[in-house]
Amino acid sequence: MKKFILVAVLLIFNCSMSFAQCAMCRATVGSNLSEGRGVIGTGINDGILLMLVFTYLSIPTLIYVWFRTAKKEMRLKMHK
């Protein structure tokens, strides 16, 4: 359980750093698109979407693993 808490805390701190980067990426995309350089902007937009997808996939995965582990622990306590 201690490992899970450590991983959760590290993920929370990591997300805050990635949100800071997204703001800078968005500003770069806005300036590039306004200057007519759309290729750079679309590449950065794809990167932002990739970070978003992994964030939204990792959270349900962690919740599933947590519930499955808790369920196994409950079964072991019931059989003792």
Residue 3, domain member (yes or no): no
Residue 37 to residue 70: CA distance in whole angstroms: 51
Average confidence score pLDDT of the chain: 75
Half-sphere exposure of 15 (CA within 13 A, CB side): 13
Residue 5, domain member (yes or no): no
Residue 58, domain member (yes or no): yes
pTM recorded for the entire structure: 0.43
Judge whether residue 65 has pLDDT over 80.
yes
- What pLDDT, in 10s, does the model give residues 35-61? 666 566 667 777 778 888 888 888 889
Residue 2, domain member (yes or no): no
Residue 69, domain member (yes or no): yes
Owning domain of residue 58? 11-79
Whether the Cβ atoms of residue 51 and residue 18 lie closer than 8 Å to each other? yes
Q: How many domains does the structure of the chain reveal?
A: 1
